[in-house]
Amino acid sequence: MKSNLKSLMVLTGMFVLPAFIGCQSQNEQTAAEPTAETETAAEPEQQQTTGPKTDTVVIYQMQFQPANLTVNKGDTVVWINKDLVAHNVTEDPAGSVKSDTLNTGDSFKLVPDHSFNYICSIHPTMKAQLTVNE
Ligand SMILES: [Cu+2]
């Protein structure tokens, strides 16, 4: 009786397990396809967005990256300091744009209404340019 039960379990296992694996791999294939389609579909959607967007300037290794950024009017620009030392964003020659001191990890957000050149007034050799398309 005991051995019968054991062989039944083994038989069941042999039958169920391959069926389960077969079913699972089928599920994975079925699941993978829509995911890939969703990702592909999401990209053009983002590119087609015509509303205001957010551009990022990373401050790193004593540089504004990118040093030349062009945005559309209404867009938001965020400067993020990922450098080891403090920086700022200062319109040059002096104008309306002047951030607080940005320590590592700090950011400065602006919806620029005009094009301007800017520097880090702590390190005036750091120069960059922001162009706003009307
Ligand atoms: Cu600086």
pLDDT in tens, 7-40: 444 444 444 444 444 444 444 444 444 444 444 4
Q: How far is the CA of 83 from the centre of ligand 1 (A)?
A: 9
Residue 76 reports pLDDT greater than 50: yes
How many angstroms does the Cα of residue 6 sit away from the middle of ligand 1?
74
Give the number of other CB atoms < 10 A from CB of residue 57. Answer: 22
**Could you tell me the distance, in angstroms and rounded to a whole number, from the CA of residue 101 to the centre of ligand 1?**
9
How much distance in Å is there from the Cα of 74 to the middle of ligand 1? 26
Please, what is the average pLDDT of the chain?
78
* Ligand 1 geometric centre to CA of 85 (Å): 7
| pTM for this entry | 0.64
Condensed to tens digits (0 to 9), the pLDDT of residues 88-103 reads 999 999 999 999 999 9
